[in-house]
Structure 1
Amino acid sequence: MKKVYLIAVIFALVAGFATYFFASEIDKKTTIKDADTIEVIVPVNDISQNSTITEEMFAEDAGVFTKKTVVAADVNAQNVATSNEQLLGKVTVDPLYAGEPINVNRVEDINGADVALSLKLKKGKVAYSFSAGSVTSVDGYINEGDKVDVLVYDGDKGKARVAYKNLPIMRVSTATASKNASASGVALTEYSTLTVEVTEKQALALYKIENESTFKLVLKHRNNAPVPTTKPADAQ
């Protein structure tokens, strides 16, 4: 008799669990069906950091991006990409993962602070870093986006010349606020290197100047108009 009761209890438990899971699945499907949904863009495969997103990637046969319907409550609608325009021309500053809604904070414009410097270089240009203490580089007043001239002193001829004009500063490395403020009360900056955008030929010439000559960087007036990088006619 006890064995019969035991078997009955086991069957009852099994039936109870089966009923519970069945009811839960029905409830889940009903919830998803009735919930508000949103269509988002997701990568088909993982996309690495510092990848530029182009228009071709959105073509159906490209197999890079696709659209996916998700429950609106499961994502932050303000932060996920729902249209191509939110991603087009942007650069990934974090990896994007296959099937995962894309957080728009993981992409930036090409000029974004977290985008790799190599992606910002114009075609045919390279980045060259000066060893630049305050003596050679305007006493700590140079910032990213500024332009400088390179002033070189020729000891043999006893004269100075402008070797290069309007070199754009791309990076200010190891910048720290100086403890000694200027006379006007403005805090100065100390840095060990300044990175400029130049051609490969110019980089070789600058390396020679840096190692063989006395030079100074002259800070130029900043304006919104583009200024071409030029080499004076009398530069050697």
Structure 2
Amino acid sequence: MKKVYLIAVVFALIAGFATYFFASEITKKTTIKDADMVSVYVPSEDIPANSKITAEMLQGDSPKFVKKDVVAADITGDAVKDPKNLVNKVTLDPLYAGETVNAKRLEDIDGANVALSLKLPEGKVAYSMSAGSVTSVDGYIREGDTVDVIVYDSDKKESSVKYKDLQILRVSTSAANNSASANGSAITDYNTLTVVVTEEEALDLYNIENQHTYKLVLNHKN
């Protein structure tokens, strides 16, 4: 008789656990089904830092970014839901396949934290040249200005404007720029300027620096 009672108790416990797990699963499925869902964008593969996101990366048979439906309560307000907030942005950190893209990990192409190489026009290079004191208008040149390059030819004993309207990409070094940005100050003391040129012009500027005397002229800015 005791064995009968023991068996009955065991079966009752099994039935109770089964009922509990079944009810829990039903509740879970019902909760997910009834939850508010939202579409966000996720990478379909790992995307390196300092990568420019183009419209083509969201198109085609194998897009690098795809839509994914997730529970609204599981995402933050910075989750990217609109493709307009992806295109022409640059990744500040690596993005990993399947993770929701966070807008705070993206920056506009002209942002301060974006790699300089991504800001160069196609076919152009960045060239840093010596430009201290009187040679570079006594420290008045700023990022975004344009300058002309006056070169003195010692053989011909004459000067001429060798280049006009060279765009200033950066004033001084990367370290100096980072420090100035952190302090909210402008750079007024520098020994180098970085300009946008073609590769051929970069070679010519290198020859000018090593073989001639030159000065930079600051142009009017509209």
Alignment-mate amino acid for residue 65 of structure 1? F
**What is the match of residue 35 of structure 1?**
35
C-alpha spacing 1:72/1:164, structure 2 compared with 1 (3 Å): same
Under a length normalisation based on structure 1, what TM-score does the superposition of the two structures give? Answer: 0.74
**What is the match of residue 201 of structure 1?**
200
More helix by share: 2
The unaligned stretches of length 5 or more in structure 1 are 1-8, 179-185, 224-236
State the Cα distance separating 1:154 from its structure 2 match: 2.8
Alignment-mate amino acid for residue 57 of structure 1? M
Q: Deviations over 1:101-141 (max 9, x none)?
A: 11123223332222222222222221111122223212222
1:171 and 2:165 correspond: no
Assess if the C-alpha contact under 8 Å between 1:38 and 1:72 holds in 2: yes
SS in 1 for 2:76: coil
Alignment-mate amino acid for residue 93 of structure 1? L
Equivalent-residue separation in structure 1 for 2:122 and 2:12 (angstroms) = 74
Alignment-mate amino acid for residue 159 of structure 1? E
> What fraction of aligned residue pairs are identical, expressed as a percent?
64
**What is the match of residue 119 of structure 2?**
120
SS in 2 for 1:61: coil
**What is the match of residue 212 of structure 2?**
213
C-alpha spacing 1:14/1:45, structure 2 compared with 1 (3 Å): farther
Equivalent-residue separation in structure 2 for 1:102 and 1:206 (angstroms) = 43
Alignment-mate amino acid for residue 196 of structure 1? V
The number of equivalent residue pairs is 213
Equivalent-residue separation in structure 1 for 2:19 and 2:131 (angstroms) = 75
State the Cα distance separating 1:59 from its structure 2 match: 2.5
Alignment of 1:102-181 (within 5 A): 102-174=101-173, 175=176
C-alpha spacing 1:28/1:131, structure 2 compared with 1 (3 Å): farther
Equivalent-residue separation in structure 1 for 2:192 and 2:13 (angstroms) = 73
Equivalent-residue separation in structure 2 for 1:187 and 1:94 (angstroms) = 27
Alignment-mate amino acid for residue 115 of structure 1? V
**What is the match of residue 3 of structure 2?**
none
Equivalent-residue separation in structure 2 for 1:23 and 1:221 (angstroms) = 76
Equivalent-residue separation in structure 1 for 2:18 and 2:58 (angstroms) = 45
Assess if the C-alpha contact under 8 Å between 2:171 and 2:187 holds in 1: no
**What is the match of residue 54 of structure 1?**
54
State the Cα distance separating 1:29 from its structure 2 match: 3.6
Assess if the C-alpha contact under 8 Å between 2:171 and 2:193 holds in 1: yes
Equivalent-residue separation in structure 2 for 1:190 and 1:130 (angstroms) = 15
State the Cα distance separating 1:10 from its structure 2 match: 10
State the Cα distance separating 1:48 from its structure 2 match: 1.2
Equivalent-residue separation in structure 2 for 1:10 and 1:132 (angstroms) = 89
Under a length normalisation based on structure 2, what TM-score does the superposition of the two structures give? Answer: 0.78
Alignment of 1:19-30 (within 5 A): 25-30=25-30
